[in-house]
Structures are given as C-alpha cells and as structure tokens.
C-alpha cells in the first residue's frame, strides 16, 4: 500500500514475511513502569492504536502486558514489539531473553522482536560473529512460532551487511531515530532497498523540536500540530512512526494524520532541516556491558 493511501492508524505495512503491522505504533520508552505505563497502554488501545512498542531495557514490559490485558482487546488484534537487550548477546542468552520477555509481557508470542543495539567494533573485534550468534537465536525462536517477525534497531549499513551475510532469515525491520532535524535518510534508504521496514523512534525528537519555527510554520499551513507533521512526514517517507505521550489528548491527536498530505516542497524543507532534537545516541556508542557469553 502506498503510504499516502493510508487512511487510519490501523492500516498496515506488510513485512517481508507477509506479516501485517499497523502503520503507527504507540511508543513506551521512558514511560514509567507501573500504573503510568499500564494506563497509557490501555488508553492508547482504547483510542484505537493496535501497535505497542516496548523493550526489555525500558523496564516496563510487565506493565505493557497488564495494560493490554486491561484493555480487553483480543490478543490477535494487537501488534506487540519488544527488544533484546545488549547484556544478553549470544545464542543461549538470547533464547533466555526471549523467554523472559514473553513472561514479562504475559504473552505466548511476540509480534516483532528486535536487536536493540548492534555489537560494534569498539566493543569487540568479533562483533560480526556476536551479532550473528544472537541472530541465530532469533531465527530459532521465529521458527518455533514465538516471534512472528524479527529485526534490528539502531543498525547502520555496515551492521546490516554483516548480519545479512550470516542470516538465513533476513531482518525485516530496522528501528532508528528519525524525525525532522535528524532523518538519517541514507540509512533509511539503505534498509528500504533491502526490503526492510524502517521504524522511527522518537519521531517527535523527544518533543524537543516541536517549537521549531520552520516546523511550526509548516504545521500552521495545514492547520495541524508540529507533532502531527512529524508523524505524517515519517509515513510519507515509508517510515513507521512510534510517537509517545503520556497525555490522552496527545496520544489521540498524534495519530490524527490521515486528512492531509504534506506537499513535496514542504517535505523537502522538513527533510533538510539542520540538526535538531538529536538524542545523541550513536551505534558506535552502544552500551559496552555487552560482551558475548
Ligand atoms: P508528554 O508525555 O508530556 O506528552 P518522541 O515520541 O519523539 O520520543 O517524543 C515524546 C515526547 O514528546 C514526550 O516528552 C511527550 O511528552 C512529548 N509529546 C508527545 N506528543 C506531544 C505533542 N503532541 N505536543 C507536545 N509534546 C508532545
């Protein structure tokens, strides 16, 4: 489906293995564990989101699971992503990490499981093998039916290439930081050319760029909020946005992006904004407590 043809947040991208994934997800990074996450997830589902993104390292998988159950929405109508943390690299540890996330979430299967950060040269000269070993466990759990789709996060072209050589089942997703002021467009295109779906974490630049003059001027032109422009921009690049908010009105409005199209000229402006809202996280600075078992 052409991204401009999407008409609702439950319209889907199709992953390389045919699995459908709702085109906007609700992000939970930095959402405090406990009642806050539980209520936010329940609220997002009540407001029509059907795609929730978490990670073991966010420390809120249990509350995400509780929110899903509290919503009363059937499991098979919700797409759940979580991520493998850097301390769990290597085959055996990765198998156990999948089991731990399943247990935390209280689910029988995970819709999408991602490598949170690549192992990189600075961490180990054997980074390619380490990433390959981790991936073998992803493949094993995928074949067992515990993971409906598998992918990576924060990978650059060289990490993708090294994994591609070793993978029997190719990664289907690369989730990266993406927003006006930091789009990593080369990285986006590289993954897309390989048939991977690119997802945007912090599509609003963690909120830091929402007061930017250029962004606000463009938003004003369409009668939209700056956040809505960011979310829509991602979709028009074929990138799946994962906006997050703890406030009900924003959870709702951030996904109300299907009644306008950003013009080619405005897309150019948005894609060429100076560096803004960048988190400072680079793969080469991936946490180093991450050696293979
Ligand atoms: P809050 O939870 O108070 O709404 P990102 O998804 O890029 O990481 O951005 C998340 C941040 O942006 C959070 O701090 C969130 O704060 C804020 N945010 C989310 N939606 C909006 C919005 N529509 N307007 C302003 N700030 C927003």
Quick one: which atom of ligand 1 is closest to the CA of 244? 6
Quick one: which atom of ligand 1 is closest to the CA of 254? 23
Predicted pLDDT at 5: 85
What is the chain's alpha carbon radius of gyration, rounded to the nearest angstrom?
18
Quick one: which atom of ligand 1 is closest to the CA of 225? 23
Q: How far is the CA of 9 from the centre of ligand 1 (A)?
A: 18
Q: How far is the CA of 208 from the centre of ligand 1 (A)?
A: 8
Q: How far is the CA of 74 from the centre of ligand 1 (A)?
A: 28
Indicate which residues carry an active-site annotation: 58
Quote the tokens at residue 64: 């995400």
Q: In sequence order, which residues have a C-beta less than 8 Å from that of residue 238 and are 6 or more positions away?
A: 3, 192, 198
Residue 213: count other Cβ atoms within 10 Å of its Cβ.
7
Can you tell me whether residue 284 is helix, strand or coil? helix
Q: In sequence order, which residues have a C-beta less than 8 Å from that of residue 128 and are 6 or more positions away?
A: 162, 163, 166
Torsional class of 195: left (φ above 0), alpha (ψ -120 to 50), beta (otherwise): left
Q: In sequence order, which residues have a C-beta less than 8 Å from that of residue 84 and are 6 or more positions away?
A: 56, 94, 97, 98, 101, 113, 114, 115, 116, 134, 138
* CA–CA dist 37, 42 (Å, integer): 8
Pick the closest to residue 138 from 158, 156, 153, 123 (CA basis).
Answer: 153
Residue 160: count other Cβ atoms within 10 Å of its Cβ.
21
Kind of pairing, strands 197-201 and 110-115? unpaired
Q: What string of pLDDT tens digits covers the 293 residues of the chain?
A: 446 789 999 999 999 999 999 999 999 999 999 999 999 999 999 999 999 999 999 999 999 999 999 999 999 999 999 999 999 999 999 999 999 999 999 999 999 999 999 999 999 999 999 999 999 999 999 999 999 999 999 999 999 999 999 999 999 999 999 999 999 999 999 999 999 999 999 999 998 899 999 999 999 999 999 999 999 999 999 999 999 999 999 999 999 999 999 999 999 999 999 999 999 998 877 665 544 33
255 lines ligand 1 (CB under 6 A): no
Predicted pLDDT at 207: 87
* CA–CA dist 63, 82 (Å, integer): 13
């Amino acid at each position: 489906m052409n991204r401009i043809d999407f008409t609702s947040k439950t319209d889907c991208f199709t992953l390389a293995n045919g699995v459908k994934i709702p085109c906007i997800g609700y992000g939970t990074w930095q959402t405090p564990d406990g009642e806050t996450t539980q209520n936010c997830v329940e609220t997002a589902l009540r407001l029509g989101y059907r795609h929730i993104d978490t990670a073991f390292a966010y420390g809120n998988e249990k509350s995400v699971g509780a929110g899903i159950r509290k919503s009363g929405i059937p499991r098979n109508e919700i797409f759940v992503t979580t991520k493998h943390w850097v301390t769990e690299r290597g085959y055996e540890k990765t198998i156990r990490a999948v089991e731990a996330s399943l247990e935390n979430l209280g689910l029988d299967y995970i819709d999408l499981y991602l490598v949170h950060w690549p192992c990189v040269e600075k961490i180990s000269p054997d980074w390619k093998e380490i990433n390959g070993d981790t991936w073998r466990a992803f493949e094993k759990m995928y074949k067992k039916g515990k993971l409906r789709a598998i992918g990576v996060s924060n990978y650059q072209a060289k990490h993708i290439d090294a994994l591609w050589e070793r993978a029997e089942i190719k990664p289907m997703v690369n989730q990266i930081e993406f927003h006006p002021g930091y789009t990593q467009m080369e990285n986006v295109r590289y993954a897309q050319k390989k048939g991977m779906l690119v997802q945007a974490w912090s599509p609003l630049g963690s909120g830091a760029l929402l007061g930017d003059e250029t962004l606000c001027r463009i938003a004003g032109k369409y009668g939209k909020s700056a956040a809505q422009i960011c979310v829509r921009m991602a979709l028009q690049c074929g990138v799946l946005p994962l906006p997050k908010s703890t406030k009900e009105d924003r959870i709702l409005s951030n996904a109300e992006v299907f009644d306008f199209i950003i013009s080619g000229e405005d897309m150019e402006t948005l894609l060429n904004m100076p560096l803004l809202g960048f988190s400072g996280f680079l793969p080469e600075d991936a946490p180093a407590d991450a050696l293979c078992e």
